[in-house]
């Protein structure tokens, strides 16, 4: 918190020069939705005001637009496969100055030691990273994770300044049925006067009343426009998501109007480096919003002051006296090309280049995260009595799946036989944290793979091994290679590894640079599509990693079996 002093007052009153004055800029006023053509003075990292100020340093913006720094209201750093330091050095180049990060991926793998690592690493980047404490570790009782974090474990971290609230509460059934442990977590957060993020796809009516009434403030999982309208009318903030796999923004932006825009903000949720480098970050959300008819300054309000209001960031989100000088400079308000980014008055990016060195925190405690027991090729074989099965069907553009009933071919032992003329293949989840030996096998429709196998150790949210392929041999080879390399991605075809990417931090993040990670991801994606023929309408890695998420309808698979999300119970592979 900035403490006011006489020096600041003297600058505000023009008795002294400001540290920095941005001259000849067009200032975006998010309070009155207007443009102000005045100079902007900054001192001690804080905005002094607008007017005819002089600065020790002066920058002539030549008519470019100055916006409050952009805020991502909900993101999982781990889904970028980058460390906080690397991701921070990337996002500021697009005008992002603050992100609200939910580290439930690394905490599901490494427990609260994983959170401590993320907090420490975040000190090494200019980007301001705020954390919420993961609420669901494990995400559900229907899978095995690498850790258990209950309400008693949360007290110390909930008292930390770095923690601004409780992460997305995916266990909405636990809330609406009054589970004691769920309510303890909620009440602990409310006692600390901190915010609670939500996650409740499809929740409506009285169930939504109970969920919101418990104190949950946000949601990024609206499945329909009507659902979004109801949630806003009942007091929620809606995080309009556009990530690598989920493109809800284009669908839901139609709901945004003069009456409800103030309850909306932008989020990326899960966004890979390749997507960021190609499309940008929250600036991409701005472009999409404007192309869909949203007033450019309203779009900036959604990207800045709305998120600040939601998360009680009273020190940022607007260009006004006394607020942090978190600023970005845009060429125009259509393409939103970022020219410069300032955080606390310090220029941290210019012309797409990060201006600080990237130094990384010690990551020793979050390495070595594989404990696979009794896995072999036989664990992938099925013994079906019926050819009629329940299959997970991928819906491109999101993480929601269909529950499809299909008739498949079987061998003499009841194992699935791949038919190249039908887009149905095997999918399996192998438990990797506790040595349970769990392996669950199902069938996947719409992935498109026509040969070989893809295995990954990024499998939301418990991050067991997930593998999909056309034959048992390549699937087993991929799992074994993945385990040996310490996590990441492995592609196998005809018994040979044709591509791999190592993710040694918890099996979900790389210790490498942005350039190295992005290059390897491109290579993996190209191989998956060109060689294995994965569906070009989906992200071959990010789509697969959501097939084990048992809180998103309709059908998913965990290490414990096939899971019907609508009924919130396990179901059989054979259709009955």
The gap between the terminal CA atoms of the chain, to the nearest Å, is: 61
Q: Tell me: the pLDDT tens digits for 235-281? A: 999 999 999 878 899 999 999 999 999 999 999 999 989 899 999 99
Q: Are 349 and 338 in contact (CB under 8 A)?
A: yes
Continuous segment of H or E residues that includes residue 426: strand 424-430
Nearest to 367 by CA among 505, 488, 263: 505
Global confidence as pTM: 0.92
Nearest to 458 by CA among 220, 108, 221, 99: 108
Query: 497: which strand partners?
Result: 492
CA triple 339-342-347, angle to 5 deg: 85
Report the SS3 class of residue 225: helix
User: In this predicted model, which residue has the larger pLDDT, 239 or 141?
Assistant: 239
Q: Tell me, what DSSP letter sits at residue 149?
A: B
Q: What is the predicted pLDDT for the residue at 512?
A: 96
Answer positive or negative: Cα dihedral of 539, 542, 543, 544: positive
Q: What is the predicted pLDDT for the residue at 246?
A: 83
pLDDT greater than 70 at residue 1:
no
The strand pair at 34-36 and 26-29 is best described as antiparallel
- What are the CB-based long-range contacts (under 8 Å, 24+) for 16-19? 17/53, 17/54, 17/55, 17/56, 18/42, 18/43, 18/48, 18/53, 18/54, 18/55, 18/56, 19/43, 19/44, 19/55, 19/56, 19/57, 19/345
Residue ranges covered by each domain of the chain: 72-313, 367-570
pLDDT greater than 70 at residue 101:
yes
Q: Tell me: the pLDDT tens digits for 430-459? A: 999 999 999 999 999 999 999 999 999 999
pLDDT band at 139 (very low <50, low <70, confident <90, very high): confident
Q: What is the predicted pLDDT for the residue at 3?
A: 81
Quick one: average pLDDT of 309-322?
A: 97
User: How far is 70 from 566, CA to CA, in rounded Å?
Assistant: 36
Q: What is the predicted pLDDT for the residue at 485?
A: 94
Whole-angstrom Cα Rg for the chain: 24
Q: What is the predicted pLDDT for the residue at 198?
A: 97
Q: Tell me which residue has tokens 């990797």.
A: 432
User: How far is 457 from 280, CA to CA, in rounded Å?
Assistant: 26
Residues 6+ apart with CB under 8 A from 13: none
Fold of the domain spanning 72-313 = TIM Barrel (3.20.20)
Q: Tell me which residue has tokens 């053509």.
A: 37
pLDDT greater than 90 at residue 204:
yes
Q: Tell me, what DSSP letter sits at residue 2?
A: P
pLDDT band at 399 (very low <50, low <70, confident <90, very high): confident
User: How far is 300 from 29, CA to CA, in rounded Å?
Assistant: 9
Q: Tell me: the pLDDT tens digits for 216-234? A: 999 999 999 999 999 999 9
Count of CB atoms situated within 10 Å of the CB of 257? 10
Q: Tell me: the pLDDT tens digits for 507-564? A: 999 999 999 999 999 999 999 999 999 999 998 998 999 999 998 889 999 999 999 9
Continuous segment of H or E residues that includes residue 267: strand 264-267
Give the ranges where 13-52 is alpha helix by DSSP (H): none
- Burial pattern 355-376, b for ≥16 Cβ within 10 A else e, equals eeeeeebebeebeebbebeebe
Q: Are 347 and 55 in contact (CB under 8 A)?
A: no
Q: What percent of the chain clears pLDDT 70, i.e. is strictly above it?
A: 100
In the numeric block, which tokens belong to residue 99?
């992100």
Count of CB atoms situated within 10 Å of the CB of 184? 14
Q: What is the predicted pLDDT for the residue at 491?
A: 98
Q: Are 558 and 462 in contact (CB under 8 A)?
A: yes
Q: What percent of the chain clears pLDDT 90, i.e. is strictly above it?
A: 93
Mean pLDDT, the chain, whole residue set: 96
Q: What is the predicted pLDDT for the residue at 141?
A: 87
pLDDT greater than 70 at residue 151:
yes
Q: Tell me: the pLDDT tens digits for 561-576? A: 999 998 989 999 999 7
Quick one: average pLDDT of 188-215?
A: 97
Quick one: average pLDDT of 378-393?
A: 97
pLDDT band at 376 (very low <50, low <70, confident <90, very high): very high
Count of CB atoms situated within 10 Å of the CB of 6? 9
């Amino acid at each position: 918190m900035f403490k006011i002093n006489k020096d600041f007052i003297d600058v505000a009153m023009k008795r002294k020069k400001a540290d920095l004055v941005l001259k000849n800029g067009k200032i975006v006023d998010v309070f009155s939705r207007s443009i102000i053509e005045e100079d902007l003075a900054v001192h001690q990292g804080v905005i002094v005001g607008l007017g005819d100020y002089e600065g020790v340093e002066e920058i002539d913006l030549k008519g470019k637009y100055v916006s409050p720094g952009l805020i991502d209201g909900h993101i999982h750093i781990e889904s970028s496969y980058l460390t906080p330091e690397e991701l921070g050095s990337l996002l500021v180049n697009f005008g992002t100055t603050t992100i609200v990060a939910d580290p439930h991926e690394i905490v599901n793998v490494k427990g609260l030691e994983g959170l401590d690592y993320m907090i420490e690493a975040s000190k090494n980047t200019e980007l301001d990273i705020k954390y919420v404490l993961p609420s669901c570790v494990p995400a559900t009782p229907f899978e095995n994770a690498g850790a258990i974090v209950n309400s008693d474990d949360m007290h110390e971290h909930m008292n930390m300044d770095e923690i601004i609230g409780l992460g997305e509460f995916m266990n909405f059934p636990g809330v609406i049925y009054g589970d004691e442990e769920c309510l303890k977590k909620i009440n602990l957060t409310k006692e600390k006067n901190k915010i609670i993020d939500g996650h409740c796809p499809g929740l409506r009516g009285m169930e939504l009343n109970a969920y919101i009434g418990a104190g949950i403030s946000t949601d990024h999982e609206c499945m329909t426009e009507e659902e979004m309208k109801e949630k806003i009318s009942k007091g929620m903030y809606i995080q309009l998501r556009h990530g690598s796999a989920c493109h809800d923004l284009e669908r839901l932006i139609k709901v945004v109007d003069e009456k409800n825009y103030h309850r909306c903000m932008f989020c990326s949720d899960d966004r890979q480096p390749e997507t960021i480098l190609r499309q940008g970050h929250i600036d991409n959300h701005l472009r999409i919003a404007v192309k869909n008819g949203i007033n450019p300054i309203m779009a900036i309000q959604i990207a800045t002051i709305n998120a600040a209001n939601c998360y009680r960031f009273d020190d940022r989100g607007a260009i006004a006296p006394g607020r942090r000088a978190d600023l970005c400079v845009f060429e125009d308000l259509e393409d939103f090309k970022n020219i410069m980014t300032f955080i606390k008055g310090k220029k941290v990016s210019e012309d797409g280049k990060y201006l600080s060195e990237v130094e990384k925190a010690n990551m020793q405690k979050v390495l070595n995260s594989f404990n696979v027991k009794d896995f072999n090729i036989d664990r992938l074989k099925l013994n079906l009595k019926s050819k009629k099965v329940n299959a997970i069907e991928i819906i491109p553009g999101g993480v929601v799946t269909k529950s499809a009933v299909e008739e498949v071919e079987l061998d003499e032992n009841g194992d699935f036989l791949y038919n190249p003329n039908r887009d149905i293949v095997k999918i399996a989840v192998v438990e990797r944290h506790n040595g349970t030996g769990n392996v669950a096998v199902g069938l996947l429709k719409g992935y498109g793979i026509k040969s070989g196998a893809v295995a990954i150790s990024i499998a939301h949210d418990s991050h067991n091994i997930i593998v999909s392929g056309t034959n048992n041999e390549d699937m087993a080879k991929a799992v074994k290679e993945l385990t040996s390399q310490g996590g990441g991605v492995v592609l196998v075809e005809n018994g040979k590894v044709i591509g791999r990417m190592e993710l040694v931090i918890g099996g979900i993040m790389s210790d490498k640079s942005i350039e190295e990670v992005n290059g390897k991801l491109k290579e993996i994606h190209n191989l998956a599509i060109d060689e294995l023929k994965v569906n070009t309408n989906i992200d071959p890695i990010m789509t697969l990693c959501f097939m084990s998420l048992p809180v998103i309808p309709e059908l998913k698979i965990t290490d414990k079996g096939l899971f019907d999300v609508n009924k919130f119970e396990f179901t059989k592979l054979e259709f009955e």
